A and B are shown apart, each in its own frame.
Chain A
Amino acid sequence: MPIKPELLKALNEQTQNIPVAQERWPELAVELDQLRIAAEAALTVHDFDRDPGEFPAVLRSRRT
């Protein structure tokens, strides 16, 4: 289900409190939908034991 502009607006009022122009809410909803789809796609390889903090160590391990 796509993110609704009204939801973002309510979230902003309750939590972030940043100034956002009225006409931006529908655009932001589209942008955030795209990001959420990407995040969902990443879950297909989710590994419960994977620590994001391992990244520098994996970089070093992949040098050869």
Chain B
Amino acid sequence: MLEGRNLKIKRGGSIILDVPSLSVQSGEILSLIGPNGAGKTTLLQALACLIKPSQGELFFKEKIVSSNHVLFQYRRKLTMVFQEPLLFDTTVFENVSSGLKIRGLKRTEIEKRVDENLERFGIPHLVHRSARKISGGEAQRVALARAFAPQPELLFLDEPLASLDPPTRESLIEDLERVLRQTGTTTIFATHDRMEALRLSDRIAVMNRGRILQIGPPPEVMNQPLDEFVASFVGVDTILTGRVSKKDKGSFLASVMGHEVEAVGEVELGETVVFCIRPENVTLSPPFPKRATSARNVFTGKIKKVIPMGLFYKVQLDCGFPLVAYVTSHALEDLELKEGKEIFASFKATSIHMVRKKLSG
């Protein structure tokens, strides 16, 4: 549906966006994730033709978006929601109808669509209120209703939930998810929250420094990050570098800071590899366990820090190399985990995602 080729944007002599190719299928929800300044907003605005790329082409339904006329036609097919609601200084009704008025729709049609979209986002009671006198969460709902009202073929969302408090965000993301599934609108969604991305998207693109480092379905990006940056951004807390010391059929041993770690995969002897271990795959057990475990990577570690993360705890360990595990509050009590305590940590060889240094450059 939408395809960018060789998009480059230069500012002040340096390249702030460099995307050789990106395509979005009809009905797809693509998330752009990455830290602040990764180029997510720039890419969104370039794809929405709000800023002009220094180089490259954009195709919408196989047609190049170039001349002013085509560009204008293209913009009528899309809408965008920013991080700030950017509502107009008038009533909620006038705000939601603005995109429809711009398109010159009839009054009856406008009223119908406004009602429908206020209903969708649970705010019909705000219709006659001033947009300057509603809460931040309500304002963002109005902004979303305004964006959906013209029934866009393409929807661009630039961190629309980022400045909301967690409960408001949670209820809004539920509604947004429902409306997106109902309407099947092709959406490109920039966020720095990987959980939002995981929840909403069909594909995730991880960005840094104006480039897309990896793009794929959420499980693939989460579990098989292509490099250390992607790994750390998608929530892999433990990233270890090791050298292959012993090789077997399908599995191998690598030396990580003097400790032998077993992993699976085809490697060369002496090769440097990077191990990505997700914290939810690390199991903690009391020292001197008698019970058997299928995990072959068992290490003694000292607890350095226990960090509450809401429903679970993040435990930072020193096993001779740093290791991070997630535990439930129940397990925390059960194992009497506290700083300074010694504990056994284990993870399965198959739960390690390996990045071959040679390949990732």
- A, B bound: no
